[in-house]
Chain A
């Protein structure tokens, strides 16, 4: 069975500093995708970044990068130069390639301090 673990319920970061949000996963599927979503207090889920299990390079999208370590089954999100607007819940998720069910972690709440 697939499982996503986010061990940090809450994180604090100073504005303009970088922060890493942890995500480990478990799956027996050889091909899968890993996703990170942001959920502001308003509730909508915003897609941030995607990493395929066979991708050779770590994904990057602007200030977001994914530190993918396949052997350790970890897919940590790195946010560089944190902004006050980054304060939100962040969810790591996984889906088998070609599948329909996406598994979500419990999330990490990030607080950015001015």
Chain B
């Protein structure tokens, strides 16, 4: 079955540590996204990528970094510069193209906490 796999499901970060969240998709989608969700709130866009080797900052990119070396993979690194990283992180993918109005497909999320 096609889908998006995020790992790990739970992640703990120590002060001053960088951590990387994995996101892999086998849907052959060009576009991939990272969102942050805080308790009781909607999703906020961190980064997105329309195509391999290209990505753009979203609304809350500070303290995060990404790479897109393969179409299937879009890992997110939460750096030590992100002072409040505790949140639920969701990865998504979608098709692209003029006139496209296809929904995004989401992974099951990673819950990140500070130790």
Bound-state CA distance A39–B56 (Å) is 26
Least CB distance from B95 to A in Å reads 11
Kindly count the residue-residue contacts between A and B in the assembled complex, taking CB atoms under 8 Å apart.
60
Bound-state CA distance A35–B104 (Å) is 9
Which residues on the A side are within 8 Å of B31 (C-beta)? 100
Count of chain B residues near A, Cβ 8 A = 29
> Given contacts A42-B108, A45-B106, A91-B42, are A97 and B96 in contact (CB under 8 A)?
no
A43 touches B103 (CB 8 A): no
B41 touches A106 (CB 8 A): yes
Bound-state CA distance A95–B92 (Å) is 14
Residue of A47, A52, A107 touching B104 (CB-CB under 8 A): A47
Residue of B40, B45, B48, B92 touching A45 (CB-CB under 8 A): B92
Bound-state CA distance A9–B41 (Å) is 10
Count of chain A residues near B, Cβ 8 A = 24
Bound-state CA distance A102–B31 (Å) is 12
Residue of B40, B101, B108 touching A95 (CB-CB under 8 A): B101
A43 touches B42 (CB 8 A): no
Q: Is B97 an interface residue (CB 8 A)?
A: yes
Most A CB within 10 A of own CB, among B44, B92, B100 = B100
Q: Which 3 A-B pairs have the closest CB atoms?
A: A33-B101, A45-B106, A104-B42
* A-B CB contact pairs (8 Å), 25 listed: A9-B40, A43-B108, A43-B109, A44-B107, A44-B109, A45-B92, A45-B104, A47-B104, A52-B101, A91-B42, A97-B100, A97-B101, A98-B100, A100-B33, A100-B48, A100-B56, A100-B96, A101-B45, A101-B58, A102-B45, A102-B104, A104-B44, A105-B42, A107-B40, A107-B41
Q: Which residues of B contact A (CB under 8 A)?
A: 31, 33, 40-45, 48, 50, 56, 58, 88, 90, 92, 96-101, 103-109, 111
Q: Which residues of A contact B (CB under 8 A)?
A: 4, 9, 33, 35, 37, 42-47, 50, 52, 91, 95, 97-98, 100-102, 104-107
